Amino acid sequence: MAQNREFFYRRLHSLLGVIPVGLFLVQHLVVNHFATRGPEAFNRAAHFMENLPFRYFLEIFVIFLPLLFHAIYGLYIAFTAQNNVSRYSYFRNWMFMLQRLSGVITLIFVTWHVWETRVQAAFGAKVNYDMMANIVDNPFMLAFYIVGIVSTVFHFANGLWSFFVSWGITVTPRSQQISTYVTMGIFVALSIVGIRAILAFV
């Protein structure tokens, strides 16, 4: 019974990391990338997202609750997993360790980002270009955001590889090798999008 429960939780954790959390990450990066076109373009994109129908329902049940479960169970996995990098220097063992490490960094980053944006918005602050520009005006915060973005994107992209394996999409060694190239390509592409976006606020 306990094994079945853990199997279910791990599958759910994997699924939620891609749908909807991963999809939201991609959408969030795309919206933020409008900052590269100037303050007005970003503000229009942000305003559009803030005025979506059923916004609060979507934020709670499609974003925050799945993210909360993924984060809490992810921490459990991170601190109970057996990393083998000290004994085996295989690429996947290192990626396994980096997945757990990036998960912890991502949780810290996302928590802080939500505090600086969504929570402040609840207290009356406007989520716009100026808000982000003021945040990353501090060089430390800019570096923190860059590290956080890269960590988050890596966690998503590398998590995709595990998702494909866990759900039986990539079964053979060849398909898993191709998946490695594809997911690392996604990591590079989304990292560029995210870094370009955050630098646009500087």
Residue among 112, 6, 23, 106 at smallest CA distance from 62: 23
Pairwise CA distance, residues 131 & 115, whole Å? 13
Nearest-angstrom CA–CA distance, 38 and 113: 21
- What is the number of residues in the chain? 202
As a whole number of angstroms, the distance between CA 188 and CA 157 comes to 9
The answer to whether 47 is annotated as binding is no
Q: Residue 202: is it exposed, middle or buried by C-beta count within 10 angstroms (0-12/13-18/19+)?
A: exposed
In this structure, are residues 184 and 157 in contact, taking their beta carbons and an 8 Å threshold?
Answer: yes
Paired tokens of 187: 């990591």
C-alpha span between 152 and 179 (Å, rounded): 19
Q: Is 13 annotated as a binding residue?
A: no
Q: What is the DSSP letter of 71?
A: H
**Known binding site: residues?**
28, 70, 113, 155
**Known binding site for heme: residues?**
28, 70, 113, 155
